[in-house]
Amino acid sequence: MTKPAFEFNLLATDGQARAGLIHTPHGEIPTPAFMPVGTQATVKAMTPRDLHDVGASIVLGNTYHLYLRPGDELIAELGGLHKFMGWDGPILTDSGGYQVFSLAQRRKVGSDGVTFRSHIDGSEHCFTPEKVIAIQENLGADIIVCLDECAPADDYDYNVQALNRTHTWAQRCKAAKTRANQALFGVVQGGVFPDLREQSARFLTGVGFDGYAIGGLSVGETKEQMHAALEIVTPILPTDQPRYLMGVGTPEDLVECVARGVDMFDCVLPTRTARNGSALTRTGRINLRNARFADDAQPIEPGCTCYTCTHFSRAYVRHLTTTNEILGHHLLTVHNLHLLLTIAREMREAVLEGRFQTYRQAFWQMREQPA
């Protein structure tokens, strides 16, 4: 019997928190895992070598953006997304659903799919479940995601209709998939409504996927609502498959959502805040543009082992940031990604050693100290 291309081993649990290992054709992903976002087939300001150095085991690519530019067929001709972007580790591509519902113009949703105009040149396109699977098969990521509809989180009637479409589309995505070496994740939706979240988790696990994404959160709802949604959804999902919370990735969200049974995360926060001159730290966020760092000889985060903190002062990074030097973006991105990837790794070790709750308490004690 040949080994399956995709496999998840749950190694330990501590409360709801989990430590596991995902096997893919391009290598292993230790979980909990944070996935740096490579929107345009690049994690902004980072080479694949830099990504390996900060400890990334998987990166995310955006189907919507890559379909529009440079085109999934071109990427397939050039050997697929791994080869195109020079990253030989695992890749996850999202379905493009979120971008269509947040970025594209003149959307029209029907039962068959969604037509929209490109945010770049206004050209008209249509995403059906079959089409987004074909695009993701051309891109060739290790993990691909079903087309889903992201409804406004607090509109019940809209969520009921969107959920029906999302569920039908999920079945069609599963039927359309032809490649055996890609894992397919379904997307649980349902906004902030407990009954809809439960219905979605039950429906999708009934269809059966290789893993489950949880979408439509971190879009303006309260933390309590996000946590409540997870507390309903994760106990319904199969224990022997990975759970991926889409678009969530502050240090505190990572800790609190791992505590509620999540295994995988992605977020533009570490890369986007870096370009705004901000650093994420264990005690909170600091903005290096602030004049108080002008003569500060300390590293961004004392004790941090990243390349930036072991070589440069806050004063130097502040100088690069205020003069808008490219290196400033790079150095802040290195630090921010290193921090999130380190927290994910520390949580994994804590779960494996049965001390996750102690880790969580220590994490929150650090937050209360001034930055």
Give catalytic residue positions. 94, 266
Q: Which stretch binds Zn ion (CB under 5 A): 70-78, 247-255, 303-311, 357-365?
A: 303-311
Q: Is 341 in the site for Zn ion (CB under 5 A)?
A: no
Q: Which stretch binds Zn ion (CB under 5 A): 33-41, 66-74, 301-309, 363-371?
A: 301-309
Q: Is 304 in the site for Zn ion (CB under 5 A)?
A: yes
β-bridge mates for residue 212, sequence order: 186, 243
Total residues interacting with Zn ion, rule: CB under 5 A:
5
Exposure letters 310-342 (e unless 16+ CB within 10 A, then b): eebbbebbbbbbeeeeeebbbbbbbbbbbbbbb
For 56-154, strand residue ranges (E) read 59-61, 91-93, 105-109, 114-117, 124-127, 143-145
Q: Which stretch binds Zn ion (CB under 5 A): 96-104, 117-125, 188-196, 297-305?
A: 297-305
- Please give the single-letter amino acid code of residue 213: A
Q: Is 26 in the site for Zn ion (CB under 5 A)?
A: no
Rounded to whole angstroms, the Cα distance separating 210 from 191 reads 23
Q: Is 340 in the site for Zn ion (CB under 5 A)?
A: no
Q: Give least dist CB 290 to Zn ion, A.
A: 17
Tokens of 350: 């804590």
Q: Which is nearer to Zn ion, 99 or 308 (CB)?
A: 308
Closest CA to 283 of 310, 301, 265: 301
Q: Is 309 in the site for Zn ion (CB under 5 A)?
A: yes
Q: Which is nearer to Zn ion, 227 or 367 (CB)?
A: 367
Helix (H) or strand (E) holding 45: none
Q: Which is nearer to Zn ion, 218 or 308 (CB)?
A: 308
Rounded to whole angstroms, the Cα distance separating 303 from 281 reads 11
Rounded to whole angstroms, the Cα distance separating 254 from 118 reads 32
Q: Give least dist CB 281 to Zn ion, A.
A: 8
Q: Give least dist CB 247 to Zn ion, A.
A: 24
Q: Give least dist CB 246 to Zn ion, A.
A: 26
β-bridge mates for residue 38, sequence order: 61
Q: Which is nearer to Zn ion, 233 or 320 (CB)?
A: 320
Q: Give least dist CB 135 to Zn ion, A.
A: 36
- Which of 82, 318, 335, 348 is the binder for Zn ion (CB under 5 A)? 335
Closest CA to 269 of 290, 256, 252: 252
Please list every residue from 108 through 167 that binds Zn ion, using CB under 5 A: none
Rounded to whole angstroms, the Cα distance separating 119 from 323 reads 30
Q: Which stretch binds Zn ion (CB under 5 A): 36-44, 63-71, 139-147, 305-313?
A: 305-313
Q: Which stretch binds Zn ion (CB under 5 A): 103-111, 203-211, 246-254, 331-339?
A: 331-339
Please state whether 362 falls in left (phi above 0), alpha (psi between -120 and 50) or beta: alpha
Q: Give least dist CB 367 to Zn ion, A.
A: 17
Site track 245-284 with Zn ion (rule: CB under 5 A), x = hit: ----------------------------------------
Q: Which stretch binds Zn ion (CB under 5 A): 80-88, 162-170, 289-297, 304-312?
A: 304-312
Q: Is 306 in the site for Zn ion (CB under 5 A)?
A: yes
Residue pair 287/278 in contact (Cβ under 8 Å)? The answer is yes
Q: Give least dist CB 338 to Zn ion, A.
A: 5
Q: Which is nearer to Zn ion, 84 or 312 (CB)?
A: 312
Q: Give least dist CB 44 to Zn ion, A.
A: 18
Helix axes 156-176, 194-207, angle to 10 degrees: 10
For the chain, how are helix, strand and coil distributed in percent, rounded to 5? Answer: 45, 20, 35
Residue pair 261/230 in contact (Cβ under 8 Å)? The answer is yes
Residue pair 165/110 in contact (Cβ under 8 Å)? The answer is no
Q: Which is nearer to Zn ion, 165 or 314 (CB)?
A: 314
Q: Is 288 in the site for Zn ion (CB under 5 A)?
A: no
Q: Which residues bind Zn ion (CB under 5 A)?
A: 304, 306, 308-309, 335
